[in-house]
């Protein structure tokens, strides 16, 4: 068996080599001149992408949308009394305000870099701020305020001299840009004094520092100051001005010079403020803020010239001088012999596989040319090339079904591919043909909250699914890793996943693998559901699977909701920690569900809304004949279009027949009526 297989592969390789030689004889390959391949820039017209933000104040009573527009992290709050953002909050003096940090970030990313031309965007921002010293016996305040440009809206930096901008766990990929207004001298960070302005480029050590005293400005004098920051992206030129809020635009800048921000920018970044306190404390008040950015982009339009060039090239190739009649005759004879030999070896291998009763052989299908974004069949050689032969360095994660790799396919697109393990493919009752059909069905589905399936590979013992690569990774990294995901974003994630499941179920499909590691955040931080299960683990019949798959999705969605609200996994990392589902029902029975809500989200958390979402999650864990809702009903609950049914006072026994990973029986299956 093994020798036959090896010989067939070798014969196929020989056939490929001979075919290449024949093609070279009949149609010689032109050798290009030594011109290097240049980066192709779209030939469409240049358009300006403009973003404008305006906040005359930050009073939630005057602007109810402020909670959706600004994400507050750490020790940042909205002060209704002053109509401003405070970091830290102006609380009674008995509260210890030392060593606190917070951030106020606009919730939508801003386009600040054009990846095609590597030109940063131009932007202008102005904001008024005030520092109030709380330690009346101390001369110094601390530590300062920073206008920041950061790659995400979830990270809270360290207090003290870090100014909430960076922290020890930020990796090298975390690029933050800051304009700091510092009232604390830290010689170890190169600070000139305790009243300076600094420009920080991915470091807490300022690349440029300016003594504000030279301009008659004292940051901690209790007055309201206004800063203007203007950046000319194409010319890499920055202008920073600072003065009292009562005066007009200052004539003289505190800094004016060339600053290249492009090495520290991604295409989309978040803008806002961070501040911190150290051993000495002060209240940082941001009173108003305007921001405008303009970036250039090429409008992509169909190119007629490309098509004409291709036609002309094909015509030139067609009019080449034909080879001699002898070479044509020789090529035809060799081609016929190779084809006959290959057909003989292929039929012989198939007969031997049939006689030996080997596993299911999935026939290779010839792919017709199609649109570039249409899902297609990949060869194993293409995917090996894309992942460096499935190198460990390309691994993104793994689970009981297989391993996910990051790769770059031939057209330059980044993809993520799930390579199903041999153990999973050999599990009892798994029909590979049905698996292939499910992959084909799901690949035709398109929805804003579903990760598109770009293609698949069914090659003998290999089953691989190719997805679009999602830059910001899975939601579990944001929930259980560094930083704190704010409630507004968590609620949006829950709604996005519910929408995706509702759409799948309306198409008589199911996801069959709903969990935090299967939910991803795209470039605009919208939740998209990927990493389909395609078939349920241990589902020995298609009829049984179709009967439970959609309801199993809802059960898994309920567990997903509990993890999002609580900010912890169902089974924690601490030995002996209570199962999250058991804990949630226990909290419900004692009417203490609010204690399950992740308190790391801070003062902007809407506890009442979080508890209602938690109740929807518990509803989803009920047995389907005891009140488990459909995906469509869940969407209506989350949109407050339908009242949420009351939960039973205690955990029903009928909850147990389904587990949270497969929806199948996890022990003695008994249905209670």
pLDDT in tens, 358-392: 444 444 444 455 555 678 899 999 999 999 999 99
Q: State how far the Cα of 603 lies from the Cα of 382, in Å rounded to an integer.
A: 51
Residue 543 has pLDDT above 80, yes or no: no
Q: What is the pLDDT of residue 465?
A: 94
CA angle 89, 93, 98 (to 5 degrees): 65
- The answer to which of 165-174, 373-382, 512-521 has the lowest mean pLDDT is 165-174
**Across the strands, what pairs with 201?**
177
Residue 198 predicted with pLDDT over 90: yes
Q: Are 357 and 436 in contact (CB under 8 A)?
A: no
The answer to whether 268 and 108 have CB atoms below 8 angstroms apart is no
Is 143 in a helix, a strand, or coil? coil
* Per-residue pLDDT at 246: 80
What's the pLDDT score for residue 36? 44
Burial grade of 516 (CB within 10 A; 0-12, 13-18, 19 or more)? buried
Is the pLDDT reported for residue 407 higher than 70?
Answer: yes
Q: Are strands 255-258 and 101-106 parallel, antiparallel or unpaired?
A: unpaired
Taking residues 601-607, report their average pLDDT.
80
Nearest CA-CA partner of 268 in 524, 493, 49: 524
- Kindly report the average pLDDT of the chain as a whole number: 81
Per-residue confidence (pLDDT) for residue 554, from 0 to 100:
93
> Is 484:417 a contact under the CB 8 Å cutoff?
no
User: Please, are residues 512 and 549 in contact by the beta-carbon 8 Å criterion?
Assistant: yes
Domains of the chain, CATH where assigned: 57-90+97-298 (2.60.120.200), 376-468 (3.30.200.20), 473-639 (1.10.510.10)
Cα–Cα distance between 199 and 383 in angstroms, integer?
Answer: 44
pLDDT at res. 17: 52
Tokens of 54: 């305006």
Give the model's pLDDT for residue 423: 87
| Residue pLDDT, tens place only, 469-505 | 998 889 998 888 767 888 988 999 999 999 999 999 9
User: Most confidently modeled of 279-283, 300-304, 325-329, 451-455?
Assistant: 451-455
Range in 241-250, 254-263, 553-562, 646-655 the model is least confident about: 646-655
Q: What is the dihedral of CA 541, 542, 543, 548, to 10 degrees?
A: 100
Q: How far apart are CA 151 and CA 122, in angstroms?
A: 17
Cβ–Cβ under 8 Å, residues 555 and 628? yes
Predicted confidence at residue 21, as pLDDT, reads 52
pLDDT at 86: 94
Q: What is the pLDDT of residue 427?
A: 82
> How distant is the alpha carbon of residue 58 from its chain centre?
29
Q: What proportion of the chain, given as a percentage, has pLDDT over 90?
A: 43
Residues 29 and 23: their CA atoms lie apart, in Å, by 9
Secondary structure class of 313 (helix, strand, coil): helix
Q: What are phi and psi for residue 564, nearest 5 degrees?
A: -70, -45
Banded pLDDT at 46 (limits 50, 70, 90): confident
- Which tens digits make up the pLDDT trace of 215-240? 999 998 889 999 999 999 999 999 99
pLDDT of 27 higher than 80: no
Please report the pLDDT score of residue 139 as a whole number.
Answer: 47
Give yes or no for residue 42 having a pLDDT over 80. no
Give the residue with greater pLDDT, 563 vs 549: 563
Helix axes 631-638, 607-620, angle to 10 degrees: 170
Phi-psi region of 180 (alpha: psi -120 to 50; beta: other; left: phi over 0): beta
Q: How many angstroms separate the CA atoms of 222 and 197, rounded?
A: 17
pLDDT at 352: 64
pLDDT tens sequence across 102-120: 999 999 999 999 998 899 9
**Across-strand partners of 431?**
none
pLDDT above 70 coverage of the chain, percent? 78
Q: What is the pTM of this model?
A: 0.53
**Could you check whether the bond before residue 143 is cis, i.e. omega within 30 degrees of 0?**
yes
**Rounded CA separation 197/96 (Å):** 27
DSSP letters along 550-593, please?
HHHHHHHHHHHHHHHHHTS-SS-SSTTPPPHHHHHHHHHHTT-G
């Amino acid at each position: 068996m093994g020798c036959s297989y090896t010989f067939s592969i070798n014969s196929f390789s020989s056939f490929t080599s001979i075919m290449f030689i024949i093609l070279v004889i009949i149609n010689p390959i032109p050798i290009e001149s030594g011109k290097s391949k240049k980066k192709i820039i779209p030939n469409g017209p240049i358009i300006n992408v403009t973003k404008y933000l305006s906040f005359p104040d930050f009073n939630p009573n005057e602007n109810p949308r402020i909670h959706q527009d600004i994400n507050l992290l750490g020790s940042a709050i909205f002060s209704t009394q002053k109509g401003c953002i405070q970091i830290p909050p102006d609380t009674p003096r008995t509260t210890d305000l030392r060593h606190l940090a917070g951030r106020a970030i606009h919730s939508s990313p801003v386009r600040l870099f054009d990846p095609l031309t590597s030109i940063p965007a131009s932007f202008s921002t102005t904001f008024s701020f005030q520092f109030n010293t709380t330690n009346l016996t101390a001369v110094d305040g601390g530590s300062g305020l920073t206008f920041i440009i950061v790659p995400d809206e979830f990270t809270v930096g360290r207090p003290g001299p870090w100014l909430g901008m960076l922290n020890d766990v930020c990796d090298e990929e975390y690029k933050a840009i800051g304009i700091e207004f510092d009232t604390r001298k830290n010689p170890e960070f190169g600070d000139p004094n305790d009243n300076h302005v600094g420009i920080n480029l991915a470091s807490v050590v300022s690349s440029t520092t300016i003594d504000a005293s030279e301009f008659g400005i004292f940051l901690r004098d209790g007055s309201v100051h206004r800063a203007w920051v203007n950046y000319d992206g194409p010319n890499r030129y920055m202008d920073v001005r600072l003065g009292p809020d009562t005066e007009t635009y200052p004539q003289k800048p505190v800094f004016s010079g060339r600053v290249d921000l492009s090495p520290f920018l991604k295409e989309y970044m978040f803008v806002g403020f961070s501040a911190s306190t150290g051993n000495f404390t002060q209240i940082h008040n941001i009173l108003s803020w305007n921001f405008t950015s303009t970036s250039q982009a090429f409008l992509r339009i169909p190119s007629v010239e490309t098509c004409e060039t291709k036609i002309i090239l094909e015509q030139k190739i067609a009019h080449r001088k034909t080879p001699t009649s002898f070479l044509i005759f020789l090529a035809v004879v060799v081609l016929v012999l190779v084809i006959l030999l290959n057909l003989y070896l292929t039929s012989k291998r198939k007969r031997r596989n049939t006689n030996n009763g080997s596993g299911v052989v999935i026939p290779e299908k010839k792919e017709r040319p199609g649109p570039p974004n249409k899902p297609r069949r990949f060869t194993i050689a293409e995917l090996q090339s894309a992942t460096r032969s499935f190198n460990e360095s390309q691994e993104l994660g793994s689970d009981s079904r297989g391993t996910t790799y990051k790769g770059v396919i031939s057209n330059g697109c980044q993809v993520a591919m799930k390579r199903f393990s041999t153990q999973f493919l050999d599990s009892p009752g798994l029909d590979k043909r049905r698996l292939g059909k499910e992959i084909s069905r799901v690949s035709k589905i398109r929805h804003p909250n579903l990760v598109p399936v770009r293609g698949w590979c069914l090659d003998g013992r290999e089953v691989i699914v190719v997805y679009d690569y999602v830059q910001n990774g899975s939601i579990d990294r944001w929930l259980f890793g560094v930083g704190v995901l704010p409630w507004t974003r968590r609620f949006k994630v829950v709604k996005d996943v519910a929408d995706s499941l509702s759409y799948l179920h309306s198409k008589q499909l199911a996801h069959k693998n709903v969990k935090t590691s299967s939910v991803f955040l795209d470039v605009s931080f919208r939740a998209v559901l990927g990493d389909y299960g395609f078939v349920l683990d241990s589902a020995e019949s298609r009829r049984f699977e179709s009967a439970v798959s959609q309801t199993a999705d809802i059960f898994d969605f309920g567990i997903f909701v509990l993890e999002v609200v609580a900010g912890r996994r169902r089974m924690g990392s601490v030995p002996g920690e209570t199962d999250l589902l058991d804990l949630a029902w226990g909290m419900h029975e004692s009417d203490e569900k609010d204690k399950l809500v992740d308190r790391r989200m801070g003062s902007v958390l809407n506890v009442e809304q979080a508890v209602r979402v938690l109740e929807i999650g518990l509803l989803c864990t009920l047995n389907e004949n005891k009140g488990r809702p459909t995906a469509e009903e869940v969407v209506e609950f989350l949109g407050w279009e339908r009242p949420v049914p009351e939960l039973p006072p205690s955990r029903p026994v009928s909850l147990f027949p389904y587990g949270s990973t497969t929806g199948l029986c996890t022990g003695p299956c008994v249905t209670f009526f």
